[in-house]
Amino acid sequence: MSEKNYKLNTKLIHAGVHPDPTTGAIMTPIYQTSTYVQAGPGDHKGYEYARTQNPTRTVLQNALAAIENGKFGLCFGSGMAATDAVIKLLAPGDEVIVSNDLYGGTYRVMTKVFANYGIKFHFIGMQDANNITQYINSNTKMVWIETPTNPLLNVIDIAASAAICKAHNLVLVCDNTFASPYLQNPLDLGADIVLHSATKYLGGHSDVVHGALIMNDAGLEERLRFIQNSCGAVPGPHDCWLVLRGIKTLHVRMQRHCENGKAIAHYLRSHPKVGKVLWVGFEDHPNHDIAKKQMRGFGGMISFTLKNDSMDEAVAVLKKTQLFALAESLGGVESLIGHPATMTHASIPREDRVKNGLVDSLIRLSVGIEDIDDLIADLEQAIG
Ligand SMILES: *Cc1c(COP(=O)(O)O)cnc(C)c1O
**Are residues 73 and 41 both part of a single domain?**
yes
Same domain for 142 and 11? yes
pLDDT tens per residue across span 188-236: 999 999 999 999 999 999 999 999 999 999 999 999 999 999 999 999 9
Of 11, 57, 200, 353, the catalytic one is 200
- CA angle (150, 154, 158) in 5-degree steps: 100
Distance from the CA of 278 to the center of ligand 1, in angstroms?
20
Q: How far apart are CA 329 and CA 133, in angstroms?
A: 33
Active-site residue, from 47, 51, 108, 309:
51
Query: Could you count the other beta carbons within 10 Å of the beta carbon of residue 337?
Result: 22
Q: Read off the DSSP letter of residue 185.
A: -
Indicate if 182 and 292 belong to the same structural domain: no
The CB density around residue 122, as the number of other CB atoms within 10 Å, is 17
Percent of the chain at pLDDT above 90? 90
Ligand 1 pocket test, candidate residues 83, 113, 146, 200, most atoms within 8 A of CB: 200
Could you confirm whether 200 is annotated as catalytic? yes
Residue nearest to atom 6 of ligand 1 (CA): 79
Ligand 1 centroid distance, CA of 186 (Å): 17
For residue 256, pLDDT beyond 70: yes
State mean pLDDT over 256-261. Answer: 98
Q: Which residues contact 161 (CB under 8 A, 6 or more apart)?
A: 126, 129, 132, 143, 145, 172, 190, 191
Question: What's the CATH code of the domain at 298?
Answer: 3.90.1150.10
Residue 233 and residue 289 share a domain:
no
- pLDDT, residue 1, reads 61
What's the confidence (pLDDT) of residue 346?
A: 82
Which residue lies with its CA nearest to atom 8 of ligand 1?
Answer: 79
| Residue 187's CATH number | 3.40.640.10
Report the chain's C-alpha Rg in angstroms.
21
If one compares 56 and 349, the residue with the highest pLDDT of the two is 56
Q: Which ligand 1 atom sits closest to the C-alpha of 81?
A: 9
End position of a domain, from candidates 247, 278, 313: 247
| Residue 84 annotated in active site | no
- Ligand 1 pocket by C-beta < 6 Å: which residues? 78-80, 103, 105-106, 146, 150, 175, 177-178, 197, 199-200, 209, 211
Number of domains in the chain: 2
103 alpha carbon – ligand 1 mean position (Å): 7
276 and 241 assigned to the same domain? no
Regarding whether 90 and 58 lie in a shared domain, the answer is: yes
Residues 175 and 282 in one domain: no
How many Å apart are CA 233 and CA 74, to the nearest integer?
A: 11
